[in-house]
Amino acid sequence: MKKSLLLLFALIISATLFAQDDNCPVPENLQAKVELNNPDYGKKYKVICTWDAIEGVDGYAVYVSTQYYPEGMWMGNVSNTEFVMGSDVEGQLYFSVLTICDAENEIVSDRSEEVSVILSEDEVEDFNAIKAPTNLTATANSTSSIELTWDAVENANSYFVYCNDEEIANITATTYVVENLKYNTEYCYTVTAMGVDTESDPSEEACTKTLGESLSESESYFNIFPNPASDNITISTNQEITEVNIYNILGVNVYNEQFTINNSQLNVNISDFCNGVYFIKVKTEEGEIVKRFIKK
């Protein structure tokens, strides 16, 4: 019965012969989005309108207007809070919705505020397009390696890693370690995502240096002694030390300690270290300092 009333009421609404009632609530939070080249839809553009539900009403009537038809044309009635239409023509459309509070007595609300969409390949992202990776970070693991991480991209089958616009890897994970790099050298990277047959735009660039001796002005306030050392080394600086990492010549982390209290001088036991060259990276409140020392 209600369905037949809605069908009958559609003819009445389309002829604009209806009774607007201030007590009939106007739909709110009307939103519209556009999909371009959705393979599951028969039109070039798929427009999806949604709005908040209103309890106890018989349905909603949807209108669309253009610059050539500003008064709006009735597009249909729905009993839920979603309306979908398709188009192969570009242009700007304006949607509004009114509430059918009582179909039998022809009582409706005013129209909602309009929401507009632009049907244009320049404005709408292709449904099959894949987004660029985000939050790319580059972290120096050693004197010869840098670790890259980024957020996963929806519908990505793999990722291309680039260094200075040259492809260096094609992987499925969202982390990659670049190895065999030069000591104390800066490298810059970008990552793209690959869909079925589409590659995304590149991510924002991330740059970092491999570990090596610091050229920072902070060196003049930073000291390691004795060097060479056999049992203990002392780290002395005028800054607050927050973390210490020590790497062997192969780039393997052999020592890590973090600090939550103020430390400007500390001792590190290296008696169990093998003899050789090591790099110590000290994080302070001012940044990072890297020095080399010898265990004998």
Give the tens place of pLDDT for each residue, 130-183: 889 999 999 888 778 899 999 999 889 999 999 988 999 999 999 999 998 887
Residue ranges in the chain modelled with pLDDT below 50: 1-17, 214-218, 220
* CATH code for the domain of 205: 2.60.40.10
Domain boundary among 92, 119, 146: 119
Domain count, the chain: 3
To the question of pTM greater than 0.75 for the whole model, the response is: no
C-alpha–C-alpha distance, residues 123 and 86, integer Å = 16
Per the domain annotation, does 129 fall within a domain? Answer: no
Residue 187's pLDDT is what?
A: 95
Per the domain annotation, does 125 fall within a domain? Answer: no
Mind giving me the DSSP string for 94-139? EEEEEEEEETTTTEE-PPPPPEEEEE-TTTS-BTT--PPP---EEE
Residue 241's pLDDT is what?
A: 84
Residue 223's pLDDT is what?
A: 84
Name the strands in the sheet holding 137-140, side by side, starting at the edge strand that comes first in the sequence. 137-140, 146-149, 175-178
Say if residue 205 is in the same domain as residue 222: no
Taking residue 187's Cβ as centre, other Cβ atoms within 10 Å add up to: 18
Domain containing 171: what range?
137-209
